[in-house]
Structure 1
């Protein structure tokens, strides 16, 4: 079984406003509402690529129900834990104003609900795959990623972590199968500036030395680098295309990589699938689909 965890899912209300003016009533020229959150994005892209998963996390109020309903429409199974107070967040994204966003806070997560999630995760079995992605609500313990991985460390579960700074560094000792920092996040960890694909390789190896099995580094227009557990380094420039929507591109890369790995257990194929899937999502209004990914994949061979 494959599971994704989104601690603070959202309804993303994506709008364009022509000639936006502060202090006045503005009207949208386009509107879109989608279920959001890094783990949810991963589940949707996995489904688009032919891989079934179950989305886990917390939901609250009418917005939480709508998130679950929209996932069902997408063909994605979910098993969210219900929070009695508050509502799942709504994130307003203003496409026409330099990617300006106003993100909600989401509900407070009681300790008993965190323990309920831990119990669900403890039912996972050898060979299962778990994606841990995104930020942690302020009401939850900031070591929740490492707590989960410590609980599961001897179960033979493949764990993918897409997080930043301390969240990422604190899980490396538990040997995650895959981590995916971008070059800026990697530079922040080591207090350096990393601009080229060659620049990131020694710092990716440092994360591998600390415990990560595979390090996938996304670099937007510069491309991507994989430092694989087998000792190989794979590097690719970015496929040609026009950036339309960068939201979800990193999540798509992770989903594409793991889809490729589950298909062939081959790092080169997994890497190309990751690069192609992330790129397609960046070039599209919506998240990547299999036919689109296969077309971009051909550019990378």
Structure 2
């Protein structure tokens, strides 16, 4: 791998020098390669058996790129995909991308891991889920943790997760089992090209590790923060929104005490609660301020947003 990098950089430098001798300034002699070639440069190793490309022009560029980099043995691994089904559909990539964006990842045994992002770290929790074993709880926990190790390392690479990672394995009673899981994690991380550092497992089953952040994570590339919850993953409950609406009505009436009618625009679930569970409080406001409240539900209005208008 190191030798391949040397060959590539040498060939690139020779190409830059050749270009510089052929033209006069100002002239662009080199620029960063496109996504396809960048992927080949960063990810293609002797262990990769095939690189499947579904675009003839991209295939030609990739082939020429590897030939120019003096890597003809790797160019032989390029395959032009020409079948009818789309490439991502044929190889199940769309499904894998969807899985890689979910918090919960199921294990074959019936257990699962949950991956959560915070500002400071990435938390990964291991659970037995549907896997309860037969008669030996300790063996069940060990089996689930060992299976989780392989999936965790796979997800770290698949999702491009970097920074501080805390893994909460299922509690194990014996130090022997904890060491088995820890050694399995060390072994699985050896094939990771990103630099990692791992600390010993605590008696509570926690493992702290760092993984070098080399590029944006998959969810940063493919997703954008929710416009409703602003990326928190949580929204106000309908009951909370109702309380805010009722307080806002009182505020409006103190400012405009001679208003006879007030229009309230809210999300439909909040409107339904105001008409039902909160009907007593709505009626009390109407009686206190001698007004008529018109409540209108709108499915397109975000939860927690509302309008109170005096008419």
- Structure 1 and Structure 2 fold alike (TM over 0.5): no
With the length of structure 2 as denominator, give the TM-score of the two structures: 0.30
Larger Rg: 2
Structure (1 or 2) with the greater strand fraction: 1
Report the structure, 1 or 2, having the larger helix content.
2
Q: TM-score, normalised by structure 1?
A: 0.31
